[in-house]
Amino acid sequence: MKHAVFVLALLLTTTGVLRAESVHVLVWDERQPRQSEAYDNFLGNEIVARLQASTEDLEFRSVTIDDPAQGLSPENLEWADVLVWWGHVRQAEVTQDNARRILDRILAGELDLIALHSAHWARPFTAAMNWRSVEQGRRHFEQQAGEKQLTIETVPPPREFTVPIHGSVRTPAFFGYRKSRDTYHGIIHLPWCCFPDYRPDGEPSTVTVLSPRHPIAAGLPETFTVHQTEMYNEPFHVPEPDEVIFEETWEKGERFRSGMVWNIGEGRVFYFRPGHETYPVFKQAQTLKVLENACRWLGTSEPE
């Protein structure tokens, strides 16, 4: 039902008022025990409960990695317009098959992904970032090669879930050379999907809205404070986004592009950085407003 149904399928209520069909939001949460430090009933369930109480056009299902098919059954994914993902310490347990099925649905325009905080290492997110990097690299090398023969190889990080250090080459990175007079070879170093610094001390951050006219920023002030959060520091090794909506800063000088959107085939991915499972980030009105706006926008509009 992605996108088009929302536009075309208007339902007549008993009062005679026309309303659009709900956006279906699947909230995936690994539900680790430490979430109990900030949430009585897990982080994902908290998001669902609070957004259900404040919206009428979003419909939710809350699932977890311990559900059948890791909560990612064909029935759940076919139902969903938007997938909200919280993962942290159990990233490696998510199967590559599930990540690929999610990516395939994003590419087809049947699903959009919202990756929260430490979901920068979630396999569906990294799969989407790898796809975007390969597409960018291919276009780059095709422009260089022109009519000449082109071969391309991809190089992943040597280990999954590793942290790049400052001064490293930013990834994704492209390097090409001539194999012969008529043959070019391109090497695409896939993105690390991580950053050199993090600090889980709960110090507050300031979020600045860089794109106030974007629908994800609707109803938000120019700046707002996340009262307790983990710090991430640039550079974030991901492909250049199509839009940067939020920037986050800390008193010690760190900064991060904290709200980014990528077009991935016919679908989209939105990354929203604030978080940590031991801080009540998703009890704040502003962060919940971001999620509400993002679910609605992703579920009802087409990529440009």
Residue 137, in any domain of the structure: no
Return the amino acid letter for 47: I
Q: Check which CATH number belongs to the domain holding 37 and give it.
A: 3.40.50.880
| Interval 116-132: pLDDT, tens | 999 999 999 999 999 99
Q: What is the pLDDT of residue 1?
A: 52
85, 119 contact by CB (below 8 A): yes
Residue 112 falls within a domain, yes or no?
A: yes
Which residues contact residue 139 at a Cβ distance below 8 angstroms, ignoring those fewer than 6 apart?
A: none
Q: Render pLDDT for 239-287 as a digit per residue (tens, 0 to 9).
A: 999 999 999 999 999 999 999 999 999 999 999 999 999 999 999 999 9
Check residues 15 and 244 and name the one with the higher pLDDT: 244
Domains held by the chain: number:
1
Q: Which helix (H) or strand (E) holds 179?
A: strand 173-180
Q: What is the pLDDT of residues 75-101, one digit of tens each?
A: 999 999 999 999 999 999 999 999 999
Q: Is residue 144 part of a domain?
A: no
- Domain membership flag for residue 187: no
Domain assignment present for residue 13? The answer is yes
Cis bond upstream, residue 235 (ω within 30): yes
Q: In which domain, by residue range, is 261 found?
A: 4-127+196-300
pTM of the model: 0.94
Asked if residue 183 belongs to a domain, the reply is no
